[in-house]
């Protein structure tokens, strides 16, 4: 039914409006007794239980950052069968993000272009919602928190900005991810230079305390910089790395070039990112020890895609864009496919 709904209705709505409509449904699914009914339908098989980052995940498959920016859909996403939810990106200061429109579908490519710009309610609001989640009882997914730089903060002052978010959010998170790889905040990707990134990560790590810390990198980095960041992350004692964020490349798209040009700047996600994201994953895994966690994301849509990432050394796998194309039972489809694989 969902493919028909998408073609007939959702594909004709503004992309961001459609996302908010979907999130409303997810929020309803997070309320009892709807959450119980959904969980009964989507609960992952026990064989999919995975250990990583010192936590037990009901499935290796979870939701990438960007889907639930404001920590409002966590209960519903848990009920839909995702093993973890990475909320955010959260910034220390609340901000509206970039002007609309800022989210665009490339349907022939099963892709999205976004230039959202870290629109979110800020770290204090996110912390309050995380405390409410922690106060509830019952089974739930692992919750990661992705933090980024506030737009109004100069790049030179980025470390203090990240530390403020980490101080508020790390005690409430199962893991914390430092986002220095979104293309939609001016100057942010420049923080991926090793000389700049090392002191930033050291400061955030100190603020995070016992909470596992990861760094999320871009697929557009040259191979030697991917290796350099992965090596540095190990040297610093980080818990892991997330590979990868969205890409600024438009190579290989089959969507009408006029449609792509009209969408404009922003990060491309979805199926076109599959091969590069997988290649970066393999590069990272070659240079980090087995106990160092690697989360794979980018171009993941099917159980076979998730299996490919696990076979390439990923401990966990995330998706986002295909949720739009696959619908609310997407995690169940993935988990059933993985369980059948054995």
Residue list, annotated binding site for substrate: 69, 114-118, 179, 184, 245-246
Work out the end-to-end distance of the chain between its first and last CA atoms, rounded to an integer number of angstroms: 28
User: Which SS3 state, helix, strand or coil, does residue 162 take?
Assistant: helix
> What 8-state DSSP symbol labels residue 247?
B
Options 35, 59, 150, 182, the catalytic residue: 182
Alpha helices (H) along the chain: 2-8, 15-29, 34-42, 74-79, 123-135, 158-169, 194-208, 223-236, 257-263, 274-287, 303-311, 321-326, 330-341
Question: Torsion-angle region of residue 36: left (phi > 0), alpha (psi -120 to 50) or beta?
Answer: alpha
Place of tokens 């959202």: 116
Q: What is the DSSP string of 116-148?
A: ----B--HHHHHHHHHHHHH--S---EEEEEEE
CA distance 103 to 263: 8
Q: How far is CA 19 from the centre of its chain?
A: 15
Ramachandran region, residue 311 (left: φ > 0; alpha: ψ -120 to 50; beta: rest): alpha
Tokens of 265: 């700047």
Residue ranges of the binding site for FMN = 65-69, 89, 146, 179, 216, 244, 270, 299, 320-321
Residue 141 near residue 74 (C-beta atoms within 8 A): yes
Rounded to an integer, what distance in angstroms lies between the CA atom of residue 209 and that of residue 67? 26
Annotation marks residue 59 as catalytic: no
Binding-site annotation: residue ranges = 65-69, 89, 114-118, 146, 179, 184, 216, 244-246, 270, 299, 320-321
Distance between CA atoms of 260 and 13, rounded to whole angstroms?
18
Q: Which residue has the tokens 């499935």?
A: 59
Catalytic residues: 182
């Amino acid at each position: 039914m969902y493919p028909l709904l998408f073609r007939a209705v959702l594909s004709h709505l503004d992309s961001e409006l459609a996302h908010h409509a979907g999130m409303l449904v997810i929020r309803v699914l997070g309320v009892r007794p709807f959450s119980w009914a959904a969980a009964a339908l989507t609960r992952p098989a026990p064989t999919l239980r995975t250990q990583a980052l010192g936590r037990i995940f009901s499935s290796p498959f979870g939701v990438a950052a960007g889907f639930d920016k404001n920590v409002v859909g966590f209960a519903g996403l848990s009920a839909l069968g995702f093993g973890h939810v990475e909320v955010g990106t959260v910034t220390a200061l609340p901000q509206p993000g970039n002007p609309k429109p800022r989210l665009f579908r490339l349907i022939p490519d099963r892709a999205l272009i976004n230039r959202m710009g870290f629109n979110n309610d800020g770290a204090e609001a996110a912390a309050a919602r995380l405390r409410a989640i922690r106060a509830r009882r019952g089974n739930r997914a692992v919750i990661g928190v992705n933090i980024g730089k506030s737009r109004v903060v100069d790049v030179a002052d980025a470390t203090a900005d990240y530390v403020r978010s980490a101080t508020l959010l790390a005690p409430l998170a199962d893991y914390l991810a430092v986002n220095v790889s979104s293309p939609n905040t001016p100057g942010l990707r420049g923080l991926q230079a090793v000389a700049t990134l090392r002191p930033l990560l050291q400061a955030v790590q100190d603020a995070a305390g016992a909470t596992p810390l990861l760094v999320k990198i871009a697929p557009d980095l040259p191979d030697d910089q991917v290796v350099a960041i992965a090596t540095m992350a190990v040297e610093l004692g980080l818990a892991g790395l997330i590979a990868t964020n969205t890409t600024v490349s438009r190579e290989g798209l089959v969507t009408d070039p006029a449609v792509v040009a009209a969408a404009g700047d922003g990060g491309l996600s979805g199926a076109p990112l599959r091969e590069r994201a997988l290649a970066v994953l393999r590069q990272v895994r070659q240079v980090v020890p087995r106990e160092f966690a690697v989360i794979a994301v980018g171009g993941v849509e099917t159980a076979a895609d998730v299996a490919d990432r696990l076979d390439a050394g990923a401990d966990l796998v995330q998706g986002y864009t295909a949720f739009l194309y696959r619908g609310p039972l997407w995690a169940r489809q993935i988990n059933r496919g993985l369980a059948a694989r054995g």
